Structure 1
Amino acid sequence: MSGDIPAAKRQRAEQLARELAEHNRAYYIEAEPTISDAEYDQLFRELEAIEAEYPALASPDSPTQRVGAPPVDEFESVDHATPMLSLANCFNDEELAEFDRRAREGSGRDELVYCAEPKFDGTALNLRFEAGVMVRATTRGDGVTGEDITANARTIRNLPLRLATDNPPDFIEIRGEVVLARSRFNELNERLEQAGHKTFVNPRNAAAGSLRQLDSRITATRPLAFMGYGIGRVDGAEITDSLYEQLQLLADWGFSISPYVDRVTGLAGCRAYYDAMAARRAELDIEIDGCVFKVDDGPSRDELGFVARAPRWAIARKFPAEEMTTRLNSVEFQVGRTGALTPVAKLEPVFVGGVTVSNATLHNMDEITRKDIRVGDLVVVRRAGDVIPEVKEVAERGANATPIELPAACPVCGSAVERVEGEAVARCTGGLVCAAQRREALKHFASRNALDIEGLGDRQIEAFVSEGLLHSPADIFSLAEHRESLVEREGYGEKSVANLLASIEASKETTLERFIFALGIREVGQTMARDLARHFGSLEALRAEAERYHQRLADVHAQYPDNKAARDRAMVAEGLQAVPGVGARVAQSIADFFIEPRNVKVIDALIEAGVHWPTVDVDASAQPLTGQTFVLTGSMESLTREEASDRLEALGARVTSSVSKKTDYVVAGERAGSKRDKAEKLGVEILDEAGLLALLDQHAAGSAPDA
């Protein structure tokens, strides 16, 4: 029969299957979608149509016959007790009406009651409980087999690890969506950006990426939430067959469910619910991309059954991605709390996605250049699942359109704006003095791993900044001058103020690495601060090297104006870049910070206020492991990872969390896992616990290192 299928149709089906498989992997496995949901749906429906016309093309491995993609190798593969099926989608009232007609006819009912709920835009999770205790958590995977991510799931704060009932089922699967609230997403991205890490594009990607971290300690730092939406297999208990009542049962057992879950009657009820959620969508802190309607009663669902990919008794009514055209009047640059400058389009007001839009993000200068957007253009504004609308593209070039230029000075504080070669984001260099960054700089300065000022937390700093008491970290050491007014504040008293001022005074005695870290230099975390302190030994030496760096960089640019690789090679072994882990980008960030006059003024004021530290020993002979990088994995009997890390660092080594070609040793204890495997692939030397102890004892005894 294969000859009955036109060659063009067969080729197109094969092409679509390949493309969809690639997009599935990007979405489910790599958490980095390559196309929008709307574009994916269009490709999927085209393949469905071809396979409906020529059923022989619907092979078992077609994307239409499965959900997502197979799990990756890093996690153990686990079969779900009952498959995690996907949902059919519809995109307009006519398609929703057709679903309702089929459901009524298939179940033999004149009218159906539906369980209606928002469709969360996150990543699906299947939880297995035995005797009321969670024993396993798995991703959706391909719908039949998922990945065991139990350790990561346990870090989700609102996910109950034990059902809140005295009579739990012997066995139950509970399904739901792991999501990241929009407000927490913004905080997470700011934190990642401040630490020099890659940020996430949207909350859905952040949730998926966080849930699939190999190190559950990283997942624990991500503000994820679990929203229950269904039940799979159940053994040893009788539960209601009403889906609406099952959700109420989940809530009784301690799970978060959507507050907008409802029962609706017939097609009219579905439409009214959809319209209400579409109007409310922009207000929600958790992103949704549609509404889900499921036949509520069990007998009707049994009558309807399933197709290969989805139940016949459920459908997702997706929200449209709305786009409108309007005029770009001007561009303003906003400064974030980490100094990043974001261009914001000022638009002729236009109604998009249920709200009037007059501002839209342009992301960064690279995006502006790529899309060739200019002031005065007619532009397409898109507002789909995102809170902030974006300028998608130019619809028509304006008659007097003018290019958009990056400002040379920060629009908030006037400090220089720098854009590191190879980066998309431009930043204000005024860190300690820029009002847009002030609050976060102060919170970081007083934090536990920096100057550790007890009693000066986020709430106090927010209040002191608002009242004009704090403008820079140096002002912290002048709070004693305001003692009387502090005592009179609500919630304060003589004792609490005395404790705060005593903590501030005690914080003056610190270490050089803590002080460097406290300054909040972009790209400089705790490890980098320690390495800088050990390499230079004094703040004066570090500041002097930062000043020399720019002169050398200018000389190298003049010598190799058109050869970046040559410039990088010329800089790599000198000064700042002689410090382990300091590359060109980090070196420039450090140098820019220390030559910014306003930062220099704050540092001088801190030292004048009495902040001090002991001299750092930079004798290389006392640190025989200087320049060597170690990675610790697995557990050891004789010492903890922290103790091992401290002993290695005391000998000058760097201890990092990821294995690369630059790693010198991987210390592999019991249950070492994937880091040991990666070390073997890269040819990195592996030490067991005995080998590590021998190395530590050898150098602690002053022996010369092996050749």
Structure 2
Amino acid sequence: MNSNIEEIAAQIRNADLAYYNSDSAMLEDAAYDALKDRLRQLAPGHDVLKVVGAVPSEMLAKAKHAIPMGSLDKAMNQDEFAAWIRNMGFQNQMLTVSMKMDGGSVALEYLNGRLIRAVTRGDGLIGEDITANARQFQNCPGEDVKIAGSPFTGFIRAEIMLLNEDWKKADPDFVSNPRNLGNGIARRKNGEQAELLSICAFRAHFEDGDVIAGTEADMLVLLEAAGFTVSPWRRGNVGDAWRFYEETRAGRATLPFWIDGMVVKLDDVPAQISLGERDQRPKGQIAIKFPAEGARTVLRAVELTVGHTGAIIPTGKFDPVQLGGTSVSNALLCNWEVIRALDIAIGDTVVIYKAGDIIPKVMQVVTRPENRIPVSEPSACPVCGGPVGRKKNVQGGESVMLYCLNDNCPAKLTGKIGRYLRSLNILGIGDEVLDALCKPGEGILPDMDAGSRSVKLKSPADLYTLKDDPEFLECLPLGDKKIRLGANRARKIIGEIEAKRELTLPEFLGSLGIDGLGKRRVALIQEAVPGRMDTLDDWLSGKLGGAEFAGAAGVPNIGPVLNEALVANKSLIQEFLANGVVIKATAKKSEIPGAKSFCFTGASSVPRLQLKAMAEAKGHSVKDSVGKGLDYLVMADPHSTSSKAVKARNLGTKCINEAEFYTILG
């Protein structure tokens, strides 16, 4: 019995280390919770059950938390929630309920309104310093943060998020889930992709440790007024809390971010604090987890695919089952660390579920028959037959992912071209067409003219040569039946490509697939050093390799890395230009006809990040704080006398409500 207990405890410790200190989890939440429940039954007092977070890795500088960061007890269903309410005597108390964002916790320290430090949760007492990365987060206020009109000195607790749209940019192959990938990005030493992350704040303390408000609801209002994004929330009684849980659970799949439950807190903060803690978990708060909707099926086979980065991804093939209203027969197995941790083999009966209501994954193995077939790790790339291996991760060790090491692997080529097409929204070239354009031996029918046989995609730049031989595209054989693409589809595809022949620098460079250099990063660098990175020659000049210039451009840690990548892609860039791609000047936002600037504060009917995206999609700019030149401050009550509203009016900024904002957008 003791050996079984320690085996379970070791699995939990390893899962904690992977969860908090890497960008890939060994176990999904449901399987992890099941392990903890099992240990709780066998050894309720085991030390592992008292642990919060995990010991920080040795990669980043350590930092001690001024205010310890704890965790939350969990309720897995309505009965457990009702028991907590009854035990705590909260039947007639006001509660604040918010969505439990599925990310990584961070403590932000401010001095006179300026962000001076950001520290991960770590083990709750000591975390890792990620300040340089936090300054790049999309919505992390860095300057002029005020609480109730005064420059803020104190601590903000928040959750680091990778929104669904940014998850697709960071990981087009969906190798990692957004929670673990976001945690990994936040801890990267080189700051790569940090600009894709967002934060969601939920608690604030002054420097002496006192909270900034007497109720949870007032605290969230003050945080929003200070420029922070907060999780959607409500204040009400026990019935209101459960109704919000049910409403959120029903609409969870439509949210632009991952959540894994709801957080319920006694609204009266002093009363909540007076209840104390148990194992670094406040008694006056609880997380209600969403049940993982699962279905039993049998693993029949494992298919290996290769993503555009070369990552070899195992996907399980199952007997079809109904899950979330759809028929599911495939589920990600992620990597061989997960396969080993689950001890899964072909022939096993398993439970699968939809992670974040999006990606089907295996939750657990139910039965293991004697004739089960192990899922072996490949010794060669399943696409090209080339060598495979593991890359170095951010800690300097081996990654959990297995990669094809052949630079000329066709899967990498189709992935790179596919990423370019998606980035520029070039339509009409799906996987079937792209495979036919790239794979050797495809694209030739017996009755085709010999001159058409030379057209072949060997790089994204070759897309711009398809117009020179439309017959090749028209006769392109698709699928096993070798059905021709046809003149109409060929004409539409060429039209889509030609429409993207003239590109701005952010569009062009941000679509090349260079790690850490997306369209937004290019634009941010241009804004940071006005007039100094406005031409392609500027980007290929080597400027970013210099420490001083990289610092000025806002990329002190990754400037040299980006510079090396640009040099490595120089021949590809020249190929684009030779094929007729034209780099056009980027219009400054102030030069876009009718462009306005907006700042959002306070409560809104949709998440603030969504409002920001709507404004930017129309060519407008969004600022994090009120300052000179701001056109509109969008708030719930335009007649508010808050310090931010007063400052805006004094600067000539018009205060408007959300409905007026929509009217301006048209």
- Give the TM-score range, shorter chain: 0.5 to 0.7
Distance 1:390 1:154 in 2: 34
Contact map agreement 1:154 1:161 (CA 8 A) in 2: yes
Distance 2:300 2:564 in 1: 58
Amino acid at match of 2:255: L
Q: Out of 153, 158, 165, which is 1:171 matched to? A: 153
* Aligned match of 2:219: 246
* Aligned match of 1:462: 426
Cα deviation for residue 291 of structure 1 reads 1.1
Amino acid at match of 2:180: N
**Is the aligned partner of 1:204 residue 2:204?**
no
Cα deviation for residue 243 of structure 1 reads 0.9
Cα deviation for residue 124 of structure 1 reads 0.4
Distance 1:154 1:299 in 2: 32
Q: Out of 280, 283, 287, which is 1:316 matched to? A: 287
* Aligned match of 1:294: 265
Amino acid at match of 1:162: E
Distance 1:283 1:333, change over 3 A: farther
- Map 1:146-185 onto structure 2 (within 5 A): 146-165=127-146, 167-185=149-167
**Is the aligned partner of 1:88 residue 2:73?**
yes
Q: Out of 222, 226, 236, which is 1:264 matched to? A: 236
- Map 1:626-637 onto structure 2 (within 5 A): none
Distance 1:643 1:322, change over 3 A: closer
Distance 1:34 1:167, change over 3 A: same
Contact map agreement 1:124 1:175 (CA 8 A) in 2: yes
Contact map agreement 2:175 2:334 (CA 8 A) in 1: no
* Aligned match of 1:103: 88
Contact map agreement 2:105 2:120 (CA 8 A) in 1: yes
What's the secondary structure of 1:177's corresponding residue?
A: strand
Q: Out of 50, 63, 85, which is 1:78 matched to? A: 63
Cα deviation for residue 302 of structure 1 reads 4.1
Cα deviation for residue 163 of structure 1 reads 4.3
Distance 1:471 1:99, change over 3 A: farther
Which has a greater percent of helix?
A: 1
Contact map agreement 1:164 1:252 (CA 8 A) in 2: no
* Aligned match of 1:547: none
Amino acid at match of 1:262: R
What's the secondary structure of 1:204's corresponding residue?
A: helix
Distance 1:647 1:160 in 2: 28
Contact map agreement 1:432 1:519 (CA 8 A) in 2: no
Specify the structure having the higher radius of gyration (Cα).
Answer: 1
Q: Out of 312, 328, 331, which is 1:358 matched to? A: 328
**Is the aligned partner of 1:278 residue 2:246?**
no
Q: Out of 109, 117, 121, which is 1:128 matched to? A: 109
Distance 2:77 2:558 in 1: 57
Q: TM-score, normalised by structure 1?
A: 0.52
Amino acid at match of 1:95: E
What's the secondary structure of 1:389's corresponding residue?
A: strand
Amino acid at match of 2:17: R
Distance 1:233 1:98, change over 3 A: farther
Q: Out of 464, 467, 470, which is 1:476 matched to? A: 464
Distance 1:386 1:280, change over 3 A: closer
Distance 2:304 2:560 in 1: 47
**Is the aligned partner of 1:187 residue 2:159?**
no
Question: Is there any run of 5+ residues in structure 2 with no aligned partner, and where?
Answer: 391-401, 438-454, 471-490, 518-544, 551-555, 566-666
Distance 2:50 2:282 in 1: 13
Distance 1:110 1:180, change over 3 A: closer
Q: Out of 2, 10, 28, which is 2:20 matched to? A: 28
Amino acid at match of 1:315: I
Higher mean C-alpha deviation, range 24-33 or range 93-102: 24-33
What's the secondary structure of 1:112's corresponding residue?
A: coil
Distance 2:261 2:208 in 1: 32
Cα deviation for residue 480 of structure 1 reads 8.7
Contact map agreement 2:65 2:125 (CA 8 A) in 1: yes
- Map 1:436-515 onto structure 2 (within 5 A): 438-440=417-419, 458-459=423-424, 462=426, 472=457, 473-477=461-465
Cα deviation for residue 304 of structure 1 reads 2.3
* Aligned match of 2:53: 68
Contact map agreement 2:220 2:230 (CA 8 A) in 1: yes
Contact map agreement 1:77 1:146 (CA 8 A) in 2: yes
Distance 1:340 1:82 in 2: 40
* Aligned match of 1:533: none
What's the secondary structure of 2:278's corresponding residue?
A: coil
* Aligned match of 1:213: 188
Contact map agreement 1:71 1:145 (CA 8 A) in 2: yes
* Aligned match of 1:142: 123
Contact map agreement 1:320 1:384 (CA 8 A) in 2: no
Amino acid at match of 1:245: D
Backbone CA RMSD of aligned residues: 5.6
Distance 1:643 1:277 in 2: 42
Amino acid at match of 1:148: D
Distance 1:149 1:632 in 2: 22
**Is the aligned partner of 1:230 residue 2:199?**
no
Distance 2:60 2:299 in 1: 48
Contact map agreement 1:128 1:171 (CA 8 A) in 2: yes
* Aligned match of 2:277: 306
Distance 2:83 2:119 in 1: 34
What's the secondary structure of 1:462's corresponding residue?
A: coil
Distance 1:331 1:356 in 2: 21
**CA offset digits 1:194-240 (Å, max 9, x no partner):** xxxxx953222212221222233x253x6211111212345599943
Contact map agreement 1:169 1:236 (CA 8 A) in 2: no
Equivalent pairs, count? 465
**CA offset digits 1:311-342 (Å, max 9, x no partner):** 11100111233321246799988785568786
Amino acid at match of 2:19: Y
Contact map agreement 1:138 1:150 (CA 8 A) in 2: yes
What's the secondary structure of 2:189's corresponding residue?
A: coil
Amino acid at match of 1:171: T
What's the secondary structure of 1:361's corresponding residue?
A: strand
Distance 2:60 2:256 in 1: 31
**CA offset digits 1:248-270 (Å, max 9, x no partner):** 22122111222x3122311x223
Identify which of structures 1 and 2 has the higher relative contact order when contacts are C-alpha pairs closer than 8 Å and 6+ apart: 2
**Is the aligned partner of 1:116 residue 2:116?**
no
Distance 1:176 1:419 in 2: 44
Distance 1:46 1:17 in 2: 10
* Aligned match of 1:510: none
Contact map agreement 2:317 2:331 (CA 8 A) in 1: no
Q: TM-score, normalised by structure 2?
A: 0.55
Distance 2:57 2:168 in 1: 28
